Amino acid sequence: MAATPLAKRLASLFAGAKRFGGAGRPVKKLLDPAYWARALSHPIVLVGLLVDLLPIYGVIVWGWSAVPLVMLYWMENVIAGVMTIPRLIISGASFGPLGALGGAGLSVFFVFHYGLFCLVHGTFLVAFASMAAGPETMASSPFMDVFGMFRFGIDSGLHVAWMIYAIIAFQVAVFFWEFILKGEWKRTNPAAEMMAPYSRIIVLHFGIFAGAAALFLLGQPMVGVLALILFRAVWGVVTNSKRFGMEAGIEAAADKFSKREDFEKLMRGQNVD
């Protein structure tokens, strides 16, 4: 087989990521008690669940409304995106020089694509929160400004920054313990790592809809906020359990990319069946 030009190989990686993004498995595992028993037997999953349930304290004790909660989850999405970049680079380097170049290329693509997604998403969230607060807040709100939206989110509720520190600590711990020390970088590839953070944004959308439904149908803001927290906590168990081979639902969308041999085929410009 003739050598494929590097540009075509990188294009194949991007096209492959897009092609497999819509695949998925049934979510029957989520209804299986044995699945949850196995998932909660792992310390990293339990710690992640604790971090995901911390906002309940913010709602009950610190009087959080939906705004700081939704902004907290948006900031968590951004943090997860930042932590994805070293995963892309390191996992790519494990395939050699061409893999390193592919990981770097996917990193650039990811920064623009995921970054723009988060930027637009955050702008909508800030806009909705500002409209509810009044025209003066709307006029002074940061739009299309990641750092400004972070400040907006941190200032939206009491001690939101503490939750951000907990999220960062957990993300960094998972990166060093699971990805580096336990050798996850040897079993994954850049394409699989690039796809993983997108499910967080999808879950945030579903959570907002669930919370809004509770708010408008039941007239209970607290119910809607707690529903969003619990929905996010359940999904956190699912995403963290994926590290131990128990992936389900949307997290299985990039399952075909989890095989290193398939990524090697993409680097050679070959189709993955």
Alpha-carbon distance of 84 to 78, in angstroms, equals 10
User: For residue 171, what pLDDT is reported?
Assistant: 94
Alpha-carbon distance of 156 to 59, in angstroms, equals 12
Residue 27 lies in a domain: no
User: For residue 69, what pLDDT is reported?
Assistant: 87
Residue 26 lies in a domain: no
Number of domains into which the chain is organized: 1
Residue 15 lies in a domain: no
Q: What is the pLDDT of residues 135-156, one digit of tens each?
A: 666 666 788 889 999 999 999 8
Residue 273 lies in a domain: no
What range does the domain containing 227 cover? 32-265
Task: List the Cα angle 73/47/154 in 5-degree steps.
Answer: 30
User: For residue 124, what pLDDT is reported?
Assistant: 84
pTM attached to this predicted model: 0.78
Alpha-carbon distance of 210 to 231, in angstroms, equals 8
User: For residue 21, what pLDDT is reported?
Assistant: 41
Alpha-carbon distance of 111 to 82, in angstroms, equals 8
Residue 247 lies in a domain: yes
Low-confidence spans in the chain with pLDDT less than 50: 1-3, 5-6, 10, 13, 16-26, 246-254
User: For residue 42, what pLDDT is reported?
Assistant: 83
Please report how many Cα atoms fall inside a 13 Å half-sphere around the Cα of residue 188, on the Cβ side: 28
Alpha-carbon distance of 191 to 212, in angstroms, equals 34
Count of other CB atoms within 10 angstroms of residue 21: 15
Angle in degrees, 0-180, between the axes of helices 221-241 and 66-93, rounded to the nearest 10 = 10
Residue 4 lies in a domain: no
Residue 253 lies in a domain: yes
